[in-house]
Amino acid sequence: MKLRTRIAKGRLAVMVASFAVAIGALTSSCAGASAGLGTSSSTCFSALPASFGAVGHHSKLLGVRLLPATKIRRFIPDLPASKGGDLCVLAFQLPDSKGQFVVKKFDDHIEGKFELVIYSLATKKVLTTRSRHALPIRFAHAFSII
């Protein structure tokens, strides 16, 4: 009888340990700085202070993407020349005239009042900002605001 009790306790301990490891693995993948924004562009987080300075601290950060200049030129044709190939694109939501953050959700995009900031990692400067009514690329975190 004592042997069965020890085996049962051992199995319970293994199950509890397995459950704890599984929970730890799930939560650690969501805990990184880039995971909260739906991006792996961690090098672009150095662009945050300058970008917030360009759009104002009253805005909400929606996402950060590291993209080649050629892809950015598809939606910003007059993009200033930069020394580096990859640039950071930061998306912010701006409040409307009443101070509200209003968005409309459609099947594949959201519309509202947005500001895009293009930041050069090579020069450590904001290249340009653009006001938009819809986001031209997907920022995974942006779809969670609705």
Confidence of residue 15 (pLDDT cuts 50, 70, 90): low
Q: Which of 80, 63, 74 is nearest to 127 (CA)?
A: 80
pLDDT of residue 38: 46
- Looking only at the bridges linking them, the beta strands covering 125-134 and 110-120 are antiparallel
User: How many angstroms separate the CA atoms of 125 and 29, rounded?
Assistant: 31
Q: What is the pLDDT of residues 35-86, one digit of tens each?
A: 444 445 688 989 999 999 999 888 999 889 999 999 999 999 999 887 777 8
What percent of the chain lies above the pLDDT cut of 90? 36
Q: What is the pLDDT of residues 84-95, one digit of tens each?
A: 778 999 999 998
Write the DSSP symbol of residue 137. S
Does residue 123 contact residue 82 with C-beta atoms inside 8 Å? Answer: yes
